[in-house]
Each structure stands twice: as structure tokens, then as C-alpha cells.
Structure 1
Amino acid sequence: MSALALLGAFFPVTVLAAFSFDDVAEKARALAAKPYQAPAAIPKFMQTLSYDDYQNIRFNPDKSLWSESNSRFQVMMVPPGLFYRHAVKMNVIDAQGSHTVPFRKTDFDFADPEVAKRVPANLGYAGFKLTYPLKGEKERNQFMVFAGASYFRGVGRDNTFGISARGLAIDTGLSRGEEFPSFVEFWLERPSPDAHAMTFYGLLDGESAAGAYEFTVYPGKTTRLKVKSRLFPRADIELLGVAPLTSMFYYGENTGRPTGEWRAQVHDSDGLQLLNGNSGEWTWRPLLNPRELEMDYLMTDNVRGFGLLQRDNQFSDYQDLQARYELRPSSWVLTEGDWGPGQVVLTQLPTTNETNDNIVAFWRPQEKVQAGQTLDYSYEVQFGESNLGGNPMGKVMNTFVGDGNVVGGGNAPGAYRVLVDFGGGLLDKQRPRSPILSNVTSLDGGEVLEHFVEYNEALKSWRLSILARPAAKKSLSLRAFLSNGDETLTETWAYRLPANNDIRTAQ
């Protein structure tokens, strides 16, 4: 008996027909050589469904792909409608080759018979959800969703859904308007029933670029999605966003609280973490909900990682039994290879509620992106707890900002009092009486009036207190870290508060 046959006697073996990333790349190359053609739209009535009517179209989990073999990985289909304006082609790769997954209306339960009657028999699917026994062998837990343009969401074992990632971002935040390329076709490799990883491919198309993607996902306490991408611009692109992350920040500890809100904070992420390549510097940028669009371009040289994290992960930070923001996942992009010089771009848009994603972070290359190029990027997108990235430094725990001309804040008109709590990492090795130094720098013409650091017994951490005044009509821009002699102990806190803000009532 052969080794393969012997293995198959004990474990089901799936021998896949030949299909690879290069096959998808050739399709993307061919698309980019032609004028862009938008995907066919679904019927108008499906686009105008109410949120409740759309939610009442439910896929039957018993109809999941590979459920008949009791596979650890199974696939639930997402119906088009509401936000999902076009169908995507779904394929399965198995030992017999690549096969299209036909749309079956009977795989869905419709609460409203009038809606069911009007749904065409060839509607198609908007995307898919992956399930896996994250919390028990008899469970089928949803852990990843691909649906809508190039968006996908993932969770670790102990998370609820929150932050999103995308295949590509183009011209995000620019006045000309953002472009949203879409995945138009997927190929799912059928895994063996006992597999712990799954591979699938995506074909992306948009007005300015087409692209090929290979995804290999490893669900767990931290869910890891390895990504290999090849992009083919069909037009020059001013602002290319590689490995974009999209999140929500309504308000937090470093902002004002909207009138009438009883919750202390409301956000899916509270900061941007960045690891620069050559310098090895870890940076933390607290997020905000600006009154006007804010674009920050953080210079990098061979960026090694960046992400939007949810560091406030205690129920007491929110007191919200429904949203459970403390369970929202953090997401970290771990780059592979040398990406060269570029910028991590942080786009923050104003929002008046928590239903709108208003935060986008991505990497952009320094070189201009021109039509006819071929761009390759490999990276890993991680979803899980707030320690993603493996930052060994002392970390920012809290950022509080107030008026610097009130009792408890100071006696300096036009200034702000800023408190930053650092803890964990290298700081845990320091004694409360260690000679910790605060290193504070003001940018954009601002002035640091005072700064000092003291041990905070209540939190077992170190509190940096800063009194700083921005230049007239300029943002308050500060950078700070803690050290002991020549040893840097913390990440760099990089803060920017726009001149038009909600901290002081009189500006």
C-alpha cells in the first residue's frame, strides 16, 4: 500500500486539481488591459430593501458548503441586497477541478413572502462567511466574512465582529472622491475535513486597477490571514492604499462626550500602532472624531507592521451590554519583505453617531503608481486581542486632554493639559522610585510649558503630565516617550489635536 493510500485509510485526503495564484494573476492582468466594466447591478428593489427586510433573508446553515462531510471549515453564502449591490461569482476547487457554485434560492429562508416571490432564481451571492469550531468541536462559529466591495471582517476566538479590512483602497479622503474596487470572483479550495487552515483566491477589479489575491486563513485565539497580492493599475493612482483597515471612533477618553451620552466611550478602535522598519521605533497615535476631515501621513522606511487596536478592553470602559465594545477585535498588518519607503496614512472623518466607520489606515508607496506597473505585496492580517504585533515596550494606557487654564489643568490661557499613562512591557521592570525621565517634543510651532512624570500607585503605571500651547490657529502636535538614562522604555506617543476641537468650549 502506498504512503498516500495508507494516510487516506485513517484521514480523508483531498487531492486538488491544479489551480494557483498565477491563474488568478493572469485573469487580473487581462482585466487591466481592457476598459473597466462595472459588475451588473442587482434588481432595484433589492438595493432599496430596509435594514430589517434584508436581515430577514437568512441563509440556512445546514446548506453550508462541505457540511455533508462534517468539515471543520464550512461556507455560508451572503445574499445580495441593501449595501451589497452586485453579485460575485463563487467557485470551488476540488479533485475534479474548478466548479461554479450555483445560486439556490431554496438555501435561504425569507421572513417576508413578498420579498421571496420577487427574488430572481439567478440572483447570485454577494460574498461568503466562513465557520470553524473556535469555541468547541461541536460548534460552527462564524469567524470571517467577505462581502461588499473588497471588504472583509475577522475575529479571534474571544471577539465579536467590529473592525474591517479591505483588499485595496484608492484615493481615500481625497476631494475627488474615493474609489471602491470590488472582488468580483472567488475560488475556494476544498480543505480536508480535519484541516486547520484554508486557502482561497480573489479577483479584484475597479476603475483604476485590477488585482489577484491568495488568502490562507488560520482561525484561533488570534485569527491570521496570510495575503499574497499582485496589482495591475490601469490608470495612474494618486493615493494607493495597501492593506487598508477600516474602523469606528465616535468618542473616547481623549475627546469630549456628546451631549446626552451616558457611556464613557464608544469606539471599535482607540489608536494606531506602527512599527517602523529601519529605526525599530514603536509609535502610538490615539484616534479622534474630528470636526473636519483629518489626514495624517506617517513616514516609514520598510514598514514592519501597523494596525488599529482596541486597547480599552474592559466592560467598565463602555458600560454597554448590547454593543460590547470591549470585545471588538484589534487588527494588525504584519508586512513581509522590504516594502521600501512610504507612509502609513491615517484618515479620520467626522461622524455624528456610532453607525458609521470613520477611520481608515493603510500604507502607501512613496513612488508614484502608474498605469502598466505590476505591484506585489505580501502580508498577514491578524484579528484578536490588543497585544497584536508583539510590542515589547511600555504602552500608552490612557490619554486625557483638558483645558490648560482651569483649576487642575493649569494657569496658561490657550494651553492644554495632557495626561498620558504608560504601563507594561519594559516599564514593569522599573521600581516606583526609579529615575524615569519624560521626553516631550512639540511640533508645528507649539510650546511645551512644562512636563513631568510620576508613578501612579493606583494603576501601577507611570503618568506623564504635559502643559502645552499650540501656535495660533494650529494643531497641538506632541511626541513623547519615557526613558531611564539612555534606555528608552516606552513606545512613542504621537498626538495631534486639531485647532477646531471639542476640548475647550471657547476656541
Structure 2
Amino acid sequence: MGLCLSAQASAFGLEDVIARAETLAAEPYQAPDPIPGFMQNLGYDEFRSIRFDPAQQLWSPSRTRFQVMLVPAGRTYRHPVRINIVDAEGVHLLPFRKELFSFGDEALRKKVPADLGYAGFKLTYPINKAGVQDQFLVFAGASYFRGVGAGDHFGLSKRGLALDTGLLSGEEFPIFREFWLIRPHPQASSMKVYGLLDSKRVTGAYEFTIHPGQPTRVEINSTLFTRERIELLGIAPLTSMFFYGENTARPLGNWRPEVHDSDGLLIHDGSGEWSWRPLINPTRLQTFSFSTRNVRGFGLFQRDGSFASYQDPEADYERRPDAWVRTREDWGDGRIVLVQIPTSDETNDNIVAFWSPPNTVAGGKRFDFRYEIDLGRLVSLDHPLARVQHTFVGLGDILGGGDVENAYRLIADFQGGPLEGLAADAPVTADVTAMLGGRVLEQYVEYVEQNGHWRLSILAMPAEGKPLELRAYLKRDATPLSETWTYTLPTENDIKGNGK
């Protein structure tokens, strides 16, 4: 089904936004005008009381399958963005209309300026039930956007770009300062959105082609223009939350077994290797780089989809979506960067993952990136190997762990792929490597009949004063059977009790 209603609408495209981004990059950076101070200082409940009227969604009179709810500026959304509609009448700015919102506080309603502006928008679509408009994709705040597949609960976020994330010099947050929404045909199953990104050191033009479903797929074409040198350029960044899980100690006083939006980072390198890194909540900022050549994909996943692992019917952590970034061209040499930031609760997004070129990026350069992101619990991967299902970590000198002081017992459970159908006594072994001077004291593989998993058990000791860094995969003879499991346990950690 066509995306647009007219030749005028289709005449506007990515090249128009690229031209704007290139012109903007040649000019000195100008920060957007902030909203009034009292709107920035609204409390959480005050801002939440400002609600868009769903009956006023854009395009609802025409019963189009795609409709739009608007997000008011306020609280952390401190700068309004321009939102344009591209339709049969051409391109026109969407003016702010105060009457589209209800206010829990009449005094606040009177104070809100008539020209406050929008912080972003929410796309709705009958993604779960015919005739029912459900929110499935939200663009609001800096360059953030969040999406779900059918039946999912909102969780991790995506960003247009990350700059110097995890560096001691501090992070710069680019913003989408203008959007163009291409009005789709009433029965269209996909639509386009364009965004103009801007920050002190870079501008960008983005084309989003959006396909709601399970999973929801967003195809992205982007062109970047650098104004100044960038130390760490983050492409296709993903942001999530990991408070604690099966591989960590439960913080004192917390009753739920696990609390996280994502539990691991998956990488598919151009070499064909699939690697899985379970997430942690460190006591200090941690940044890891995984070298890649022509990376094919990477993503943050919530592999544990069992309610029993979370026991939280309100948060629905078992329904949080995965996000898989699939490259659509050769990105060459680079690295997947994983940033893990300490957090004391579940309200902070403390996990960031992105692709970055191997070196710093100079000013005055143009870059083009094409990729797509799958969002949902049923992301389809061309993954032929067994997958890590669980990671457990304990001390290596207690009952069930071992009898070696200062050692750790690590368990990785694998399932699927070529392990399916193997006899319990099949000769499955493991290749285990310790880095940074660590030692593998013991390792063995066994079939666990109770859950149908193949379990790798490792007793390992870190070098004095260094983290324990391990890498392992299952094999039969010389043939790999599983993705590669990697793990880094910091010197200060909650397993030994010298962390948080």
C-alpha cells in the first residue's frame, strides 16, 4: 500500500533534509530556545497530569490506521521541536494547540503558554487489535525514540546518535530539532518520518520507514555532517536498564528475583561469530569495546521471558522488547561499545550499546549509514548456534561453588541450535579462556535433564587486583556448537560483598 496521498507529499524526501543538515553544519551551533522555567520545574505528577486527548489524534477523522498523539514540552523535555505534516497540500508546520490537552490542575492550565510547543509525538496503530489505536513508537526527548512490537511493554530506548558516551570528558546529547511526518494512505501498513538532528559538533538527516508488527521494524537511512572533532561517535545507540539479575546478588531489601529491561548484549561479527555478553550493574563506570569487521548486527535482549524471574505484574519485565540493529551495508572496521553505569534503582537507564568507528572523527566530514532496527519479543535472527539462556555467578570457596579461596564459580546454560536432539552423553566439551592473567582451575560440561540445557561450569581465579575476564563456547570435536559467552567480573563486585 502506498505511503503518501499525493505527488506533493512524495516530492519531499531525505535529500531535502540532507540539504538542511549540510547547511546547518556550516553555521555556528545555536541551542534551541528553552521553555519557561516553571514548565521545566514541574514535578513528575504535575507533568503527568497534562494529557493529550486521544480523540484529537491527527488523521483520526479519516480513520487512517496510523494516527498521531502529541507530547507537550515540559519537565525534562525542555526544548520544543518543530513538527511538520507533509500531505496533499504540501508541507506545513503543526501549530501548538493547548486545547488538545487536559490538565489535572486548572491553575497550571492557565499558566501554560499558548505557544508552548511540542516535545515530540507518539504514533498509534491497531498493532494488537483491529480498530484499536495503540501507541507503538514514541519520539520525544533529545534524539530518543522508543518502540514495541505487538503485545509488548515499553522498555529500552533507541537514539539517533551518541557522542562521547562513557568518556570522562562528558557526553553530548544531540537533539532532533525538527520532524516531517508523511501522511500515509488510510490503509497503509507503513509510514515515513524524517528528522533533522543537531548538536554542537554534528548535524544529521534521518529517514525512518516504520513497519508496525511483531516485531516492529524501523528502517533508517542517515547522513551526518561533523562540525568539530568527535572522540567517540556512537551509531545506532541503544539505551536500557539493568538493576540486578540472575548473575548478580539481590540488593538488600529487594524482594523481586530480577529487575531489568535487558539482560545481555548480542553481537554478530562479519567473521560469522555470534557472541553474548550478560549485563551487570557495576560499582563504577565500565566501558568495553568489542572489535568488529563489517559487523552484521548487534542488540540488547531480554532473553529471560519468564514471569517467574521477575514476579512483577505491573512492570511486566518479561514483556520488555529486544532491539536488534541489522546493518544494510559494509560498515568496515569498528567496534561495538558497551557502557555500564552504576545505578541504585530501576529508574535510571544505565546501559548503552552502539557501533563506533575505530578512531576519532574529524570535523568537516560526511558519513552515511543505513541500518534497520527490529523491536519486539519475536525478533527473528539467522542464528544457527546454541544460545546462552542463563548465567549464574557465585563464590568458589563455598558449598556448591568449590574449595578455592578467591576463586569464583560461573555457570552458563546453553540451549537450541545443534545441541537440540543430542543424547545426554554426547561428547560436548568447551573451549574456555581466561584473560588478564586469570586462571581456569576447572571446567566441565553436563546435560541438565530438568531444564533441557547444556551447562558449562567454570571455576576460575582472577589475577591479583584485576577483574576476572572469561570467554567460552561449547564444541564437539573442533566444531563450535554455541555462540561465544563472554563475561567480566570486576574486582569490586556484589558476589564477593566488596561492591555495593
Q: Percent identity?
A: 55
Q: Report the aligned-residue RMSD.
A: 1.4
User: Deviation at 1:404?
Assistant: 0.3
Alignment of 1:28-67 (within 5 A): 28-67=21-60
Note if 1:408 corresponds to 2:405: no
Note if 1:345 corresponds to 2:355: no
Distance change (3 Å), C-alpha of 1:506 and 1:384: closer
| Distance in 1, Cα, partners of 2:42 & 2:423 | 60
| Distance in 2, Cα, partners of 1:35 & 1:182 | 16
| Distance in 1, Cα, partners of 2:4 & 2:81 | 30
SS of the equivalent of 2:22 reads helix
Note if 1:226 corresponds to 2:219: yes
Contact persistence 2:492–2:498 (CA under 8 A) = no
SS of the equivalent of 1:102 reads coil
| Distance in 1, Cα, partners of 2:20 & 2:4 | 32
The answer for the alignment partner of 1:390 in structure 2 is: 382
The answer for the alignment partner of 1:81 in structure 2 is: 74
The answer for the alignment partner of 1:504 in structure 2 is: 496
| Distance in 2, Cα, partners of 1:82 & 1:395 | 42
SS of the equivalent of 1:212 reads strand
The answer for the alignment partner of 1:375 in structure 2 is: 367
Contact persistence 2:4–2:182 (CA under 8 A) = no
SS of the equivalent of 2:118 reads coil
User: Deviation at 1:15?
Assistant: 4.1
| Distance in 2, Cα, partners of 1:298 & 1:356 | 24
Note if 1:266 corresponds to 2:222: no
Alignment of 1:161-200 (within 5 A): 161-200=154-193
AA of the residue aligned to 2:329: G
Alignment of 1:121-132 (within 5 A): 121-132=114-125
Q: Choose the corresponding residue for 2:153, options 143, 160, 166.
A: 160
SS of the equivalent of 2:256 reads coil
Q: Deviations over 1:341-373 (max 9, x none)?
A: 000000000000000000000000114311010
The answer for the alignment partner of 1:140 in structure 2 is: 133
AA of the residue aligned to 1:96: E
| Distance in 2, Cα, partners of 1:220 & 1:80 | 29
TM-score relative to the length of structure 2: 0.98
The answer for the alignment partner of 2:351 in structure 1 is: 359
User: Deviation at 1:461?
Assistant: 1.0
Contact persistence 1:169–1:180 (CA under 8 A) = yes
Contact persistence 1:198–1:217 (CA under 8 A) = yes
Note if 1:420 corresponds to 2:387: no
| Distance in 2, Cα, partners of 1:129 & 1:506 | 44
User: Deviation at 1:387?
Assistant: 4.5
Q: Deviations over 1:393-412 (max 9, x none)?
A: 10111100000011111111
| Distance in 2, Cα, partners of 1:225 & 1:236 | 29
The answer for the alignment partner of 1:487 in structure 2 is: 479
Instruction: Provide the aligned length of Structure 1 versus Structure 2.
Output: 498
The answer for the alignment partner of 1:21 in structure 2 is: 14
User: Deviation at 1:486?
Assistant: 2.1
- What residue ranges of structure 1 are gaps of 5+ in the alignment? 1-6
The answer for the alignment partner of 1:297 in structure 2 is: 289
Q: Choose the corresponding residue for 1:324, options 292, 312, 316.
A: 316
SS of the equivalent of 1:116 reads helix
The answer for the alignment partner of 1:283 in structure 2 is: 275
TM-score relative to the length of structure 1: 0.96
| Distance in 2, Cα, partners of 1:16 & 1:276 | 42
The answer for the alignment partner of 1:454 in structure 2 is: 446
User: Deviation at 1:169?
Assistant: 0.2
| Distance in 1, Cα, partners of 2:384 & 2:99 | 52
- What residue ranges of structure 2 are gaps of 5+ in the alignment? none
| Distance in 2, Cα, partners of 1:389 & 1:244 | 19
AA of the residue aligned to 1:439: D
SS of the equivalent of 1:126 reads strand
User: Deviation at 1:164?
Assistant: 0.1
The answer for the alignment partner of 1:3 in structure 2 is: none
Contact persistence 2:162–2:173 (CA under 8 A) = yes
